[in-house]
Copies of this chain bind each other. A is one copy, B any other.
């Protein structure tokens, strides 16, 4: 994999000296960025470019290049890849478009490419991508001109499923004075996918944080497992959230849209930071260039009352608390103020201090406060003469932030004429919107929280559980027989109401005697989804005559008879196989909580006890389970154990496509819970 990004020699296939030739741009990019390795050019026509020979055949090259870059018509790619393989080239980047993102014929070409690559053990990026930019060694492969003075080297690496968007992201980061190290446009992900690149970047010493734009997940579970292994922040912009984008995404890079809620949950569980927009992406990257926010307590220092109010407002919105400041800070401020109209509070409005150098001292004083986890500083200047001291302040703030190991978020709206000069004062991020700045700081706090959580409780490795079949099965899954469904739960020790499957009136009455009245009688068919509405359910039958009457009026030949249980809180527990992340588990209170307000908690399986507890607690219905209006609390311990077991069933039975335990009753504390009904769909054989 390293040869893909640090090759000693590169072959570019598809170069001519025509001014419109795209491959030519690649070669010229490599020159402009001072790539030190050998570069071989190939095209059917041969010839010369800038006095250097263009080979007509791959075979004509004397040595074996580490990397082949192919930009030729789609239908010519298989043959070229075959030749690369035969020659022993280990890596290729297929930039050409016109594959599965475009037509069915293109999809067949892709199958062909996979065969060839497996035969020759050649790994490749693409097709349908612009390739790689590695500023560390000048490996700049896109097929349009790129200039060094428009780039900025840094420690962020970018992986993007879209070539167009990677340009937007790079440009935005550079505007924000953030340099990047490697940018990879990964296209259709036919062979190597985002997980392979992530694995490489995690081990890449030049990369400190990783940004990924994705339209679909190639292997959600591996992505989660990788992100859990690293301390490096991973920020994901996952598009394709709504059904209206499925069409274009499929056309674009053959994205098969997953369930967006599952993606949200999965990324959160793995400690990956999901952003919605490129601006949030840039802000997250900026915040990760500062020390992490290790707690909740913020010091706010600013230069106008209006800033103080809006910063405190935004702090509150993002869950921060204004730290109490000690007299040590206030005494220092008192020594420095002029007209004496400053209130000694946090936020500290220093509009009255006109000497910019004083701010450095005050920021340091606030950083020294043990209660303070981080500082936001709001700067405003009105004179051009303030520019040099402001730049000095930016440098000092960077130094202080590092020295105290706490983030200092610098908020400043620079004037048009000094915009870039101020922003580019140092490798230190400047924010221009208090809301965005504090949203980013919340990402930093979350990252810290996730890191400490990870070291505290070792998450179960989830890498081994993989969805069985990534292409969604075309065959309709079959319903499992109710009896089998109940037995499956029982076999894991889950409490189910006493039941029997019966067909005749006699059997029914006999079963009732064994189970004990009162009983419920239901149609024993999982396919009638809302049995209550279909009048297929008779509850609370107290004796034989009531049972017989119910039997007579129901039009079926197979019944489920069940012991009526004591009343309890109705909850529902669901599960399904997600095509991108494998088994997921769902929990919610029954009735309006699930059906009207969609109040559910979701997790990728397996879950541990802490995760099960968080699932229950994050639902709005949790208040009901805790004991609402003087009711005793429900048996949360039993519920937690139940969720963990269901998660285990889902992991150990990948043939279960959907599972719906609804209702389950949770009784008062210490009294356990009981499954009343369950439906299971399994993959057809």
Let me know if A417 is at the binding interface, CB within 8 A. Answer: yes
Q: Which residues of B contact A351 (CB under 8 A)?
A: 164
| Residue picked from A309, A310, A432, A592, most chain B C-beta under 10 Å | A309
Flag if A164 contacts B380 (CB, 8 Å). Answer: yes
Residues of B contacting A168 with CB < 8 Å? 304, 306-307, 380, 413
Q: A247-B345, A312-B242, A623-B596 are in contact. Are A144 and B382 (CB under 8 A)?
A: yes
> Are the CB atoms of A629 and B533 closer together than 8 Å?
yes
Residues of B within 8 A of A119 (CB): none
Query: Does A110 sit within 8 A of B, measured CB to CB?
Result: no
> How many copies of this chain are found per oligomer?
2
Asked if residues B175 and A419 are in contact (CB atoms below 8 Å), the reply is yes
Would you list which residues of chain A between 192 and 236 have a CB under 8 Å from chain B? Answer: 213, 215
The complex places the Cα of A308 from the Cα of B321 at a distance, in Å, of 39
Q: How many whole Å from A105's CB to the nearest CB in chain B? A: 12
- Chain A interface size, under 10 / 10 to 19 / 20 to 34 / 35 or more: 35 or more
A620: Cβ under 8 A from any B Cβ: yes
Shortest CB distance A683–B (Å): 31
Is A165 an interface position by the 8 A CB rule?
yes
* Contact across chains for A277 and B242 when beta carbons are under 8 A apart: no
B-side contacts of A314, CB under 8 Å: 277
Q: Once bound together, how far apart are the Cα atoms of A245 and B311, in whole Å?
A: 9
Beta-carbon nearest neighbor of A172 in chain B: B413
Kindly list chain B residues whose C-beta atoms are within 8 Å of the C-beta of A628: 592, 595-596
Stretch of A367-375, A387-395, A433-441, A451-459 contacting B (4+ beta carbons < 8 Å): A433-441
Tell which of B307, B435, B532 touches A165, judged by Cβ atoms closer than 8 Å: B307
Interface members, chain A 142-187 (any B CB < 8 Å): 144-147, 149-150, 160-168, 171-172, 174-175
Q: Is the CB of B416 within 8 A of A175?
A: yes
Per the 8 Å Cβ criterion, residues 328-354 of A in contact with B are 339, 341, 343, 345, 347, 349, 351
In the bound complex, residues from chain B placing their C-beta under 8 Å from that of A166 are: 306
Bound complex: CA A351 to CA B168 (Å): 13
B244 touches A162 (CB 8 A): no
- List residues of A whose CB falls within 8 A of some B CB: 97-98, 101-102, 144-147, 149-150, 160-168, 171-172, 174-175, 213, 215, 237, 239-245, 247-249, 251-253, 255, 276-279, 302-310, 312-317, 321-322, 339, 341, 343, 345, 347, 349, 351, 380, 382-384, 413-417, 419-420, 432-436, 532-533, 592-593, 595-597, 599, 620-621, 623-624, 628-630
Our pick among B101, B242, B279 for the contact of A316 (Cβ within 8 Å) is B242
- Known contacts A249-B309, A278-B310; 16 additional CB pairs below 8 A are A162-B305, A164-B380, A168-B304, A168-B307, A172-B413, A174-B415, A175-B419, A242-B312, A244-B312, A245-B313, A248-B312, A248-B347, A251-B305, A279-B432, A279-B435, A596-B628
Min C-beta distance of A166 to chain B, whole Å:
8
The listed residue with most B CB atoms (<10 A of its CB), out of A149, A317, A592, is: A592
Contact between B97 and A341 (Cβ–Cβ < 8 Å)?
A: yes
CB within 8 A of A383: which of B145, B162, B213, B380?
B145
